[in-house]
A and B are shown apart, each in its own frame.
Chain A
Amino acid sequence: MQRTYEEINTKIRSGKAVIVTAEEIIPIVEEKGIKRAAEEIDVVTTGTFGPMCSSGAILNFGHSDPPIRMQKVWLNNVEAYAGLAAVDVYLGATQPSESQEMEYGGAHVIEDLISGKKIKLKAISQGTDCYPRREIESYITKESINQAVLFNPRNGYQNYNVAVNTSDRKIYTYMGILLPHIGNANYSTSSQLSPLLNDPQFRTIGIGTRIFLGGAQGYIAWEGTQFSPQILKDEEGKVIYKGGTLAVIGNLKEMSTDYIRAATFKGYGVTLVVGIGIPIPILNDEIMRNAAVKDEDIWTEIIDYSFPHLIKPSLGRVNYKQLREGNITIRGKNVPTSPLSSYAKAREIAQRLKEEILRGKFLLQEPIRKFTEESKLKPLLEKR
């Protein structure tokens, strides 16, 4: 079976496309097999809703009179990077507030902006001949400013470690609170619903792909930072796909706090919970096979986060069916698990994306360029 983007979009426009979520496709393929499923299904929708630190927003405030070339900018006391043109900033999601520290940060400003709240703006400058003003204090909303664009350099991690702690004290990490003596195990992906696990070799996902981003239509801008896809196989044939990431972009003004949320991991800091959904066009049988992947066939590594170095020891492999049941066995011990990525929300996003496509509101965009294939992760070496 071969199908083109144009054929799929024609079917979407005429209301004849058959679309299912990455969960719904599983029993269909089990019953009918890959070939028949590929003939019948045009698109499989995926979804994920998890903490994604490498996120932020590009904002343009418009010019005041007299004008100012903003050199340092704070939004609700959270500093935004102003080393751009006069009234452009990049507000990073993890930047903590200067008055409330971890309780409030860039992610919270983003959530407040989306929900239409007034945000306090403060900016200072040394003043120039063309921009004489040296300071300004005002209030902005998403409606009062020119652009508010969410641009996240690294989102949608293909797969992630399971985090545990073998030490004898509780540790606070970006993978949540880890109890001593492997008291719990935290993981973070929407597994069988996850975009990059349903197209693990990036056959359909690339630069220019139209996606669901925070409730709006966004795009994949580039491969994500630290993009380094790997396929690991062990002796028993368990396969781990990992390392794929996405840089995504979309209009923050059209987003909804149902699908973008600020969060604080105690002892770690502020982050943004981002909702992403990607449609996978079923162009051939191979793409169908990949999109039908299920939790028991998606493996990941259990990593000891109490080890304070870059390369941390592995305690074995586990699949997402085991993780999602709520308990796994590590070194003979029964360990409760926590997902940090909301499966309920991931499901909602995949469902919503499906409905938008069915209503003809969301057409599929063929990537204008594939991701760079060979990409290896480089460490930072300390040189003198």
Chain B
Amino acid sequence: MIKKKVILNFSPENVERPVTYQLIKKYDLWVNILQAKFEPKLGGKLLLELNGSEDQIKEGLSFVRQIGVEVMLLEQEVLWDEKRCIDCGACVSICPTGVLSLDQMTYKLKFDYEKCIVCGNCVEACPLQAIKVTF
């Protein structure tokens, strides 16, 4: 069993497809919905944590792509502008899942995308506006 976090981008054409149902039923994945945002007629986004074997996850995601739903990694939707960042650490203490930390040797910011639930706390806490979320 491995865990993988992905963001599914739905278009107006495929927004009504029961994707989560099929990931569970057909591909035997444990699906944890961490965030969901849908707008009628516009599409939507799902942040999923998938639990399963590597093959199951691979097949499940290839099915998702086949029906036209875009599969994104967190790094593509949580954008950290390292040039803008000054490593102040204002984001560290408001992150509920420990994604953000200061390295105890260099005191530079570390970003552990695997722990991110796209809550957006860091976006509003960053005084340099160096973090953007497109979710």
Using a CB–CB cutoff of 8 Å, the interface residues on chain A facing chain B are: 49-51, 103, 176-177, 179, 183-186, 261, 263-266, 271, 273, 325-326, 335-345, 347
Contact = CB atoms under 8 A, between A and B. Distances in A.
A184 B93 contact: yes
Query: Which of B91, B102, B104, B127 lies at the interface centre, i.e. has the most chain A CB atoms within 10 A of its CB?
Result: B127
Contact of A266 (B87, B104, B124): B124
Contacts of A264: 127, 129
A49 B91 CA distance: 16
A186 B93 contact: yes
Contact of B107 (A103, A265, A343): A343
Given A264-B129, A345-B87, A336 B92 contact: yes
Contact of A177 (B86, B101, B108, B125): B125
Nearest to A266: B124
Given A338-B92, A345-B88, 20 more contacts: A51-B127, A176-B90, A177-B125, A184-B94, A263-B128, A264-B129, A266-B124, A273-B127, A337-B93, A338-B93, A338-B94, A339-B88, A339-B89, A340-B88, A340-B90, A342-B87, A342-B89, A343-B87, A343-B89, A344-B102
Contacts of B134: none
B89 A177 contact: no
25 contacts: A49-B86, A50-B88, A176-B90, A177-B125, A179-B93, A184-B93, A184-B94, A186-B93, A264-B127, A264-B129, A266-B124, A273-B86, A273-B128, A326-B104, A335-B93, A336-B93, A338-B125, A339-B89, A339-B90, A340-B90, A340-B127, A342-B87, A342-B88, A344-B107, A344-B108
Interface string B100-113: 01101011100000
A338 B107 CA distance: 12
Contacts of B127: 51, 176, 263-265, 271, 273, 340
B86 A340 contact: no
Given A177-B124, A345-B86, A338 B91 contact: yes
B14 to A, nearest CB: 35
Given A177-B124, A264-B129, A266-B124, A326 B92 contact: yes
Interface of B: 86-94, 101-102, 104, 106-108, 121, 124-125, 127-129
Nearest to B121: A177
A185 B124 contact: no
A64 B121 CA distance: 48
A347 B107 contact: yes
Contacts of A103: 129
A340 B127 CA distance: 9
Nearest to A336: B93
B90 A261 contact: no
Nearest to A347: B107
A50 B88 CA distance: 8
B128 A343 contact: no
A261 B128 contact: yes
A337 B102 CA distance: 11
Of B90, B93, B124, B125, most A-chain CB atoms within 10 Å: B93
Contacts of B121: 177
Given A261-B86, A263-B128, A345-B86, A177 B94 contact: yes
Q: Which of A50, A263, A337 has the most CB of B within 10 A?
A: A263
A179 B89 CA distance: 15
Contact of A344 (B87, B92, B93, B101): B87
Contacts of B101: 326
Contacts of A266: 124-125
A200 B87 CA distance: 26
A271 B86 CA distance: 14
Contacts of B125: 176-177, 266, 338
A335 B89 CA distance: 15
A186 B92 CA distance: 10
A173 to B, nearest CB: 11
A266 B123 CA distance: 10
A186 B89 CA distance: 9
